[in-house]
Every structure is written in structure tokens, then in C-alpha cells.
Amino acid sequence: MDRVDIKRLAEKLNLSTSTVSRAFRGNSDINPETKARILSMAKEFNYQPNHYASNLRDKKSNTIAIIVPELANNFFSQAIHGIERVAREKGYYTLIYVTDDEYEKEVMFIEKLYNGRVDGIIMSVSGEANDHAYLNKRGAKSIPLVFFDRVYDDIDVPKVTTDDYTSSFDGTLHLIEGGCKKIAFLVVNKSLSIGNIRMQGYRDALKDAGIPFDERLVIDCSNDYSKNYGILTEMLREQRPDGLFASVERLAISSYYVCHDLGIRIPEDIKIVSFSSLEIASLLNPALSTITQPAYDLGTNAAELLFKTLEGKTEVKDHIVLSSKLIPRKSSVVV
């Protein structure tokens, strides 16, 4: 009554297990009629070859892992969507891991994965810590890895990112052109490559405009909403900037809350631009000017890079860079 396995199916059909097995693999020689008979019986009994047995035999899991810092975020859900499309096409399963931006979880996930559970890993790093050595340990090398968006520069694997420098430069320039003289830069972890590069774009745009860089306007935030609320409230009170460049969506959101509560008007008193994949950016009060990354494409590109490596096509050490789009909306434009 329970699970039907290949043996039972073979018995019922008066065939050997090998013949039955052959019906399920594409390549092997098998009489079309026999194959049809087998498949129809398999269907009737709802038989599916046991995944674990096949994988043990083949030393191949047909599964890839996706590791992201968070799920409740349009950027990552879109990227995952992209990865999954490609994976599905290739007949692969996807296993999703969420680190909640905790370095320990990231390490734990990766180390666990050395058990052969997956054939490859696509990751956007948490970046909470600076020790990436765990990725170089014995065993690590045996499983292909691809980074997307948030990467560790010192780890030599294929990467897919966006043109963070250019778009940060442009976003900052947009604020300057709007008349901002004192622009704060909001970042979560400026030592993480992404924060770092984005800050560089910001700095250079200021420089080009002859605005001196002021360390006090670089605001190091956290991933915690209530902490950020405090940090931003203090900053807005003390520094009174007239522009805000949020290097991460959640910091723009927090800024909105703080501005609303402090009675600071957007964009009249302060203009805001943010990296964001929010689909409803234009419905916010006021509509949020965004730098929008091609999240879905980042996903498909990362997946394709991984599969290339998996298929041994090349020893890929590529770094693909896609372009983001600056979409000015009301938060940075006085009408």
C-alpha cells in the first residue's frame, strides 16, 4: 500500500529493475513498447524514482542552494524568481536559505552544504563580518559558488552585480542638481563591498560638484528598524541635511517615518533618493525616487553562470555588471 519502489514495479511488470530504471532515463536502449508499459504502470501507481537513491548513486543532487540575507524584500524575491526560472529549465531544484543578515547562519548553511546536498550555491552575502576564510576551507572549493549583488571581493568566484558606482554617482548628482548642498549618505555596512562602492560614487559626485565630503554625514545604520529610527532622528535633528541618499531601501523607509514624525517635509525640506526595488515606490507619500536594480536579471545571470561552471563549460571567473535605472519621482523633485 505504501510507497511503490522500482522493485515492486518490476515484479508487477515481470521485468527486471534495470529495465524499469531504463524507462526513466533518456539515453538507454529499451523497447518503446516496454517503456510505454512501464510508464503507464508507473503513472497508475504514482511512482517516482526515489530522489535520494538516485542521487546517492549518481553523486549528483540536481539541486542548487540560494542563500540570501532576507526574503521580505522585493529585490531578493525577484532575484530568486530569476534564479528559479533558469534552474527549473535545467531540471534543478532550488533550496532557499535566509540568513537574516547573520554571519553565523551564513557560515552554518555553507558548512552544512558540504554534505553533498547541493551541486552549487548562489549567494548574496550577509556581510556582517569580515572573516571570509570559511569559504576557502577544505571542502568549500569542491562546490561551485556564485555571488550576486552583495559580494566578498576577496573571494575569487564568479559574480554578478550592478553598476553601483555609476548609479550612486548619478543619484547623488541628481540631488545636487536639485539644489542639495548637504547630502547625508545612509549605509548599513560601509565595509561591505556594496556599501563601500556606493559610497565612493557618492563621494565622487560631491567632489565633482565642489562640495566637501563630511564624515559626519555618512550614517552607519543597522538592520534593525527601531535602532535606525533612533539613529536617523538624531542625525536629522543635529545635522539638518537637505538631501538623503539611501544606499539601501529600508533606510529610505525609516527616513520617511522619521521625517513624517519630525514634520520635515519631503521634498521641500529634504530630498530623498534611494536604492530600491519597491514596486509601489510611486504610491508612497511622496513618491520615492529610486535607483532600481534589474533584480530578476541579476538572478538569471547568476544562475546561468553557475550552470556554466556546473557543466564544466569553462572555469568561469567572470564578473558580470548590469545597469540600474535612476527613476526620479517626487521625493527628490519640487514641483
Partner DNA sequence: TTGTAAGCGTTATCAA
Partner DNA sequence: TTGATAACGCTTACAA
81 binds a copy of itself (CB under 8 A): yes
DSSP conformation letters of 191-206: TSHHHHHHHHHHHHHH
Which of 115-123, 154-162, 195-203, 319-327 is the region at the interface with a copy of itself (rule: CB under 8 A)?
115-123
18 binds DNA (CB under 7 A): yes
Which of 108-116, 185-193, 232-240, 267-275 is the region at the interface with a copy of itself (rule: CB under 8 A)?
108-116
By residue count, the chain amounts to 335
Task: Give the one residue of 36, 45, 57, 334 binding DNA; rule: CB under 7 A.
Answer: 57
Joined together, the cell numbers standing for residue 253 give: 523607509
- In angstroms, how far is CA 34 from the centroid of its own chain? 46
Task: Report whether 69 contacts 150 (CB < 8 A).
Answer: yes
Binding partner at 6 among a copy of itself, DNA, none, C-beta below 5 to 8 Å by kind = DNA
Site string for a copy of itself, 240-269 (x = CB under 8 A): -------------x--xx--x---------
Task: Report whether 66 contacts 96 (CB < 8 A).
Answer: yes
Joined together, the cell numbers standing for residue 135 give: 569559504
24 binds a copy of itself (CB under 8 A): no
DSSP, res 288: P
Which of 27-35, 155-163, 168-176, 302-310 is the region at the interface with DNA (rule: CB under 7 A)?
27-35
Task: Report whether 140 contacts 110 (CB < 8 A).
Answer: yes
150: Cβ–Cβ under 8 A, 6 or more apart, which residues? 69, 124, 125, 126, 127, 192, 193, 194
Q: What is the rounded CA–CA span in Å between residue 216 and residue 136?
A: 37
93 binds a copy of itself (CB under 8 A): yes
Give, as ranges, the residues between 32 and 51 that touch a copy of itself (CB under 8 A). 44-51
Block residue for cell numbers 563580518: 129
Query: Which chain residues interact with DNA by CB under 7 A?
Result: 3, 5-7, 14-19, 21-22, 24-25, 28-35, 47, 49-50, 53-54, 56-59
Query: Which chain residues interact with a copy of itself by CB under 8 A?
Result: 2-4, 44-53, 55-56, 61, 71-74, 77-78, 80-81, 84, 93-96, 98, 111-112, 114-117, 137-140, 142, 253, 256-257, 260, 279-280, 283-287
